[in-house]
């Protein structure tokens, strides 16, 4: 079961899009503390993609934190899980309450400046199930988050995500839409994004 949007939650509209935007899901004091703790304590690592026989560095640092045994591979990059920290467990509970769903894993992303970003993709690996609920929490610098329909790029939504904002993607969003955080030439500070997910293993 998933939750209904609360009175002040935003619900961007698009065909097949099922997204709720909770502004200030984490208040600024708690978000400041979470940013500092995560920046320091997450085991940030630089991953590389093999393209045309060359290794290209992924334009962000990452860490996969999950329940024991839940490894994760995407775009040829394999992640063994790091254990949950106190901060991540606290944030997981908060995101679960908003999303009305439980999560057993989180991909942590660190965007160091405007040269970091993530290109168009969907979190549609089969191990997340056909209609995954994904809770995506932003901390630190404001960055743009774009969504566009996979089969009709004219259907596009641009959101500015601020410190403490939470995007919940669910229903057919991963099957029908793609999302990205574009690089920017504007001077921007560091941003941490946590995308909480549930890996289904039989
Ligand atoms: O940084 C974000 O807001 C999005 C991250 C993302 O798309 C992902 O981890 O799959």
Contact call for residues 45 and 63 (beta carbons, < 8 A): yes
Predicted TM-score of the model (pTM): 0.95
Ligand 1 atom nearest 179 alpha carbon? 7
CATH of the domain at 82: 2.60.120.590
Burial 124-143 (b: 16+ CB within 10 A, else e): beebbeeebbbbbbbbbbeb
pLDDT in tens, the chain (202 residues): 566 777 789 999 999 999 999 999 999 999 999 999 999 999 999 999 988 889 999 999 999 999 999 999 888 889 999 999 999 999 999 999 999 999 999 999 999 999 999 999 999 999 999 999 999 999 999 999 999 999 999 999 999 999 999 999 999 999 999 999 999 999 999 999 999 999 998 7
How much distance in Å is there from the Cα of 122 to the middle of ligand 1? 9
88 inside domain = yes
Looking at the structure of the chain, the number of domains it has is 1
Q: Which domain holds residue 114?
A: 19-197
1 inside domain = no
Alpha-carbon distance of 152 to 148, in angstroms, equals 8
How much distance in Å is there from the Cα of 187 to the middle of ligand 1? 20
Query: Ligand 1: does its nearest atom lie under 6 Å from the Cβ of 19?
Result: no
185 inside domain = yes
């Amino acid at each position: 079961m998933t939750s209904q949007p609360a009175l002040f939650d935003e619900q961007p509209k698009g065909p097949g899009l099922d997204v709720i935007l909770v502004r200030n899901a984490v208040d600024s004091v708690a978000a400041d503390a979470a940013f500092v703790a995560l920046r320091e304590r997450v085991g940030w690592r630089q991953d590389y993609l093999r393209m045309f026989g060359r290794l290209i560095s992924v334009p962000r640092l990452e860490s996969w934190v999950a329940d024991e045994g839940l490894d994760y591979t995407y775009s040829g990059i394999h992640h063994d899980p790091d254990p949950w920290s106190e901060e991540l467990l606290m944030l997981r509970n908060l995101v679960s309450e908003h999303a009305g769903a439980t999560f057993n894993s989180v991909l942590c992303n660190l965007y160091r400046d405007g040269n970091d970003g993530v290109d168009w993709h969907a979190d549609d690996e089969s191990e997340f199930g056909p209609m995954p609920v994904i809770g995506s929490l932003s901390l630190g610098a404001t960055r743009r988050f774009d969504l566009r329909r996979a089969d009709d790029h004219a259907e596009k939504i641009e959101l500015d995500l601020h410190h403490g904002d939470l995007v919940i993607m669910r229903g057919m969003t991963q099957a029908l839409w793609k999302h990205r955080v574009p690089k920017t030439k504007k001077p921007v500070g560091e941003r941490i994004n946590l995308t909480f997910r549930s890996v289904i293993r039989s």
